[in-house]
Chain A
Amino acid sequence: SAVISQKPSRDICQRGTSLTIQCQVDSQVTMMFWYRQQPGQSLTLIATANQGSEATYESGFVIDKFPISRPNLTFSTLTVSNMSPEDSSIYLCSFQAGVGNEQYFGPGTRLTVT
């Protein structure tokens, strides 16, 4: 099965700055996604990263705050812009594979904004 990795694994950032998280899959996949897991909470889908077109964002998430790139079928980035302490979360990328809609997740990036 495909291997998915993320970097950085964690970071501590100052408010007002931006952080770009990278996600790499070791084989080509059609669907990639970005999720947020706030402290003590479940996962919430941020957006679907579409190769060759703009990402599709879920309600409550906007491109200006969370710009996403998907330059090819193995790579995606999520930028958390103009960060505030409320953005402190774990950010996870995933890809969809298999016969159904199951997804496979990266290890996550733990972001702390001070």
Chain B
Amino acid sequence: AQRVTQPEKLLSVFKGAPVELKCNYSYSGSPELFWYVQYSRQRLQLLLRHISRESIKGFTADLNKGETSFHLKKPFAQEEDSAMYYCALPLMYSGGGADGLTFGKGTHLIIQP
């Protein structure tokens, strides 16, 4: 069963436009959730953790338990935001009993000049 769903494989927006990358998860309680980013030719890196309620590089993500969503948003996109974005959920929240993370399929964000 798909535990983390990212419905958009590709999202293209113009510089300065708002960005929203969608993530939905399968869990009835209050899970931990993460957004990871992979810039071209760089390693996968942690962008945001839900528990911290932080804003990194202008990105925020709010957990909506009613909609089981954790969408990533930025009000004004910049060209350097172009990257692959992955939403991730610890496996312990999906009944697996294991450690480790389960990832969505990823969204390729392209910011056009």
Contacts and interface: CB of A to CB of B under 8 A. Distances in A.
For chain B, what secondary structure do more than half of its interface residues adopt (helix, strand, loop), or is it mixed? mixed
Given A102-B46, A107-B43, A45 B102 contact: yes
Contacts, number: 57
Interface in A6-41: 31, 33, 35, 41
Interface string A46-75: 001000000010100000000000000000
B25 interface: no
Contact of A100 (B49, B86, B98, B102): B49
A88 to B, nearest CB: 19
Contacts of B92: 101
Given A31-B99, A45-B102, A103-B101, A92 B44 contact: yes
Interface residues of B, number: 23
B103 A58 contact: no
Interface of A: 31, 33, 35, 41-45, 48, 56, 58, 92, 96, 98-108
